Amino acid sequence: MGQQIVLWVLAGLALAASRVGLMAVARELPQPGEHWLTLHFAGPYLAGFGGLVGLYLLWRGRGWWLKGGGLLWLVAGVVTGWPAAADEADLRFVRPQEATQVPEEELVLALRMGAVAKAYPLRYLAAKRWVEDEAGGVGVLVVATGDCHAAEVWSRELDGQELQFTEVARRGGHYLLRDRQTKSYWDPRRGVAVAGAWKGRQLRHVPGEEMSLDVWDDEHPDGLLWTPRRSTGQEWQRQGKLRHWVEYRGKVQHYQLEHLPGGGVWQEPADVVLLSPREGLGLRVYLAEHPETGAPLRFTGVNVLGEARMADADTGSYWNFRGCAVDGELKGKCLAPLTVRRFCEDVR
What's phi and psi for 312, nearest 5 deg?
-100, 140
The better pLDDT of the pair 116, 306 is held by: 116
**How far is residue 226's CA from residue 116's CA, in Å, rounded to a whole number?**
13
Secondary structure of the chain: what % helix, strand, coil (to 5)? 25, 35, 40
Q: Which of 124, 283, 280 is nearest to 207 (CA)?
A: 283
Look at residue 281 and tell me whether its pLDDT is greater than 90.
Answer: no
Q: Which of 159, 113, 118 is nearest to 137 (CA)?
A: 113
Look at residue 222 and tell me whether its pLDDT is greater than 60.
Answer: yes
93-94 and 224-226 as β-strands: parallel, antiparallel, unpaired?
antiparallel
Q: Of the ranges 54-58, 162-166, 231-235, 314-318, which one carries the lowest mean pLDDT score?
A: 231-235
Instruction: For residue 256, name the pLDDT band (cuts at 50, 70, 90).
Output: confident
Q: Which residues, in sequence order, are bridge partners of residue 159?
A: none
Look at residue 47 and tell me whether its pLDDT is greater than 50.
Answer: yes
In the prediction, which pLDDT does 348 show?
46
Look at residue 305 and tell me whether its pLDDT is greater than 70.
Answer: no
The structure's pTM equals 0.72
Give the CA angle between residues 224, 170, 198 to the nearest 5°: 80
In the prediction, which pLDDT does 111 show?
94
Look at residue 329 and tell me whether its pLDDT is greater than 90.
Answer: yes
| Fold (CATH) for 93-226 | Rieske Iron-sulfur Protein (2.102.10)
Q: Which of 191, 126, 107 is nearest to 155 (CA)?
A: 191
Look at residue 27 and tell me whether its pLDDT is greater than 80.
Answer: no
**How far is residue 210's CA from residue 119's CA, in Å, rounded to a whole number?**
9
Handedness of CA 154, 157, 158, 164 (dihedral sign): positive
Look at residue 64 and tell me whether its pLDDT is greater than 90.
Answer: no
